[in-house]
């Protein structure tokens, strides 16, 4: 018997849950892209996006996913042969490095493993060794969605400032924007990339590159026509916002999502909701982990993302649990991305719970409840009291 018929919860973690309001906003005939309401609406997007990113800088919007935003950031800032220092704390840091490499940029990578944040001492050593300032940019992922680690971006900037290193600081907030606290200007971030389908609750298809005046001044002389962030951030003609036809329906969806963020009480309220829900999930996972093999991938709560939680459970229990909760209960969990190769049996011993965007307390309690049902049904050993522990977090004033 299956109990999956009802509203599903896709917690993979991205694309995230799409609000009906976003979907309904998109459900309309194509608008005119030459005059009228759409043009007025688009002019209002940038201020609201910048408020979410906590910057007074610029934003360029691309018809692209996160990989496109990665590519746009690289294309505007680095010439072939120049060097970028990439700080890797999971699959996504490594992925950004590959994008730089394919653009002919020389990548120096420091890999901090799958269970730790950037180590400031190692970063300091790498930058101190670069007395000639050949490193033109430092690239780091704020929340690595594969490992669910959250890097301390202000600490990275502090190391760069202490050494007086002039490199640009470029941050991937694709998983964390509108989820985990991120302060672009206050933390000294020069370039930030994001995408529509995670904290911004809009279908995949919009990529964002935020950049400050320092990064604008350092723009390479001849970025590609399509990736050039200049006309997109400061268009003389409407079509220049998008390098061609506007992504009309995605923009309508994004407008609704930004309105929802404002109506919740602004970005601080959105961050607070995600923090509380994440803490409820951790409380449950920690209680289950008292017996059996379940373990949070990131041991220190201070280093965990509020967007997603990566779990280690061993054997094939990760894949068995994912299949059970999807087929029996309508909850789709994430695979253990980048934790083992897909042809390695160990691959089946991981899973992730995405908790970003349009989720609330009853969705989180429901997800945790059916995970517990899955443990019981599959005979997977687990500690007691997990749901009570999660409920206690939700119940806090």
Binding-residue total with ligand PLP (CB under 6 A): 13
The alpha carbon torsion through 262, 265, 270, 272 (nearest 10 deg) reads: 170
Q: Judged by CB under 6 A, which stretch of 20-28, 60-68, 178-186, 347-355 contacts ligand PLP?
A: 60-68
Across the beta sheet with 168-172, the strand order is 58-63, 206-211, 191-195, 168-172, 135-141, 83-88, 106-111
Q: Work out how close the CB of 77 gets to ligand PLP at its nearest, in angstroms, rounded to a whole number.
A: 17
The neighbour count for residue 167, using CB atoms within 10 Å, is 21
The single residue among 123, 174, 359, 368 that binds ligand PLP, judged by CB under 6 A, is: 174
182 binds ligand PLP (CB under 6 A): no
Number of neighbours of residue 298 by Cβ within 10 angstroms: 23
Give the per-residue contact string, 81-120, with ligand PLP (x = CB under 6 A; - = no).
-----------x----------------------------
Report if residue 10 touches ligand PLP, rule: CB under 6 A: no
First to last CA, the chain: 39
94, two tokens: 């490594």
Per rule CB under 6 A, is residue 356 in the interface with ligand PLP? no
Please tell me the distance from the alpha carbon of residue 378 to that of residue 253, in angstroms, as a whole number. 40
CB of 95 to ligand PLP, least distance (A): 6
Is 74 near ligand PLP (CB under 6 A)?
A: no
Nearer to ligand PLP, 55 or 145 (CB): 145
Query: Which is nearer to ligand PLP, 73 or 252 (by Cβ)?
Result: 73
Under the binding rule (CB under 6 A), the answer on residue 66 touching ligand PLP is yes
**Minimum gap (Å) between residue 197 Cβ and ligand PLP:** 6
Position 141 contacts ligand PLP (CB under 6 A): yes
CA 161 and chain centroid, separation: 26
Stretch 190-209 residues interacting with ligand PLP (CB under 6 A): 195, 204
Which among 286, 287, 306, 305 is positioned nearest to 296, based on CA atoms?
Answer: 286
Among the candidate windows 113-121, 138-146, 251-259, 352-360, which touches ligand PLP by CB under 6 A? 138-146
Strands (E), the chain: 9-11, 58-63, 83-88, 106-111, 135-141, 143-144, 149-150, 168-172, 191-195, 206-211, 295-296, 308-312, 331-335, 350-354
Contact 195, 69 (CB under 8 A): yes
* Residue facing ligand PLP at closest CB distance: 66
Judged by the rule CB under 6 A, the positions of this chain that interact with ligand PLP are 14, 65-67, 92, 141, 144-145, 172, 174-175, 195, 204
């Amino acid at each position: 018997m299956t109990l999956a018929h009802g509203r599903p919860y896709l917690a993979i973690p991205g694309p995230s849950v799409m609000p009906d309001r976003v979907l309904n906003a998109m459900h309309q005939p194509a608008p005119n892209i030459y005059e009228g309401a759409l043009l007025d609406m688009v002019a209002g997007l940038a201020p609201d996006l910048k408020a979410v990113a906590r910057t007074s800088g610029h934003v360029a919007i691309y018809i692209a996913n996160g990989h496109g935003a990665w590519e746009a950031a690289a294309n505007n800032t680095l010439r072939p042969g120049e060097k970028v220092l990439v700080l890797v704390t999971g699959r996504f840091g490594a992925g950004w490095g590959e994008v730089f490499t394919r653009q002919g940029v020389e990548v120096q990578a420091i890999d901090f493993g799958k269970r730790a944040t950037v180590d400031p001492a190692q970063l300091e050593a790498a930058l101190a060794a670069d007395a000639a300032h050949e490193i033109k940019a430092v690239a780091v992922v704020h929340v690595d969605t594969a490992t669910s680690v959250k890097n301390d971006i202000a600490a990275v900037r502090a190391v760069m400032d202490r050494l007086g290193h002039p490199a640009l600081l470029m941050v991937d907030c694709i998983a964390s924007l509108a989820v985990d606290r991120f302060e672009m200007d206050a933390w000294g971030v020069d370039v930030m990339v994001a995408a529509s389908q995670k904290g911004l609750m809009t279908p995949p298809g919009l990529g964002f590159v935020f950049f400050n005046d320092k990064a604008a001044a350092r723009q390479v002389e001849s970025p590609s026509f399509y990736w050039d962030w200049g006309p997109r951030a400061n268009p003389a003609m409407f079509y220049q916002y998008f390098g061609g036809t506007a992504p009309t329906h995605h923009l309508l969806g994004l407008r609704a999502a930004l309105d929802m963020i404002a109506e919740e009480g602004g970005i601080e309220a959105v961050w607070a909701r995600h923090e509380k829900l994440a803490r409820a999930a951790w409380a449950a996972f920690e209680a289950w982990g008292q017996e059996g093999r379940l373990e949070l991938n990131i041991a220190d709560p201070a280093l965990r993302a509020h967007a997603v939680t990566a779990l280690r459970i061993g054997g094939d229990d990760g894949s068995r649990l994912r299949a059970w909760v999807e087929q029996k209960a309508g909850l789709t969990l994430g695979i253990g991305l980048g934790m083992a190769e897909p042809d390695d049996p160990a691959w089946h011993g991981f899973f992730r719970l995405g908790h970003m965007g349009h989720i609330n307390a009853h969705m989180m309690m429901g997800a945790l409840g059916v995970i517990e049902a899955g443990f019981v049904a599959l005979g997977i050993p687990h500690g007691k009291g997990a749901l009570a522990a999660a409920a206690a977090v939700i119940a806090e004033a």
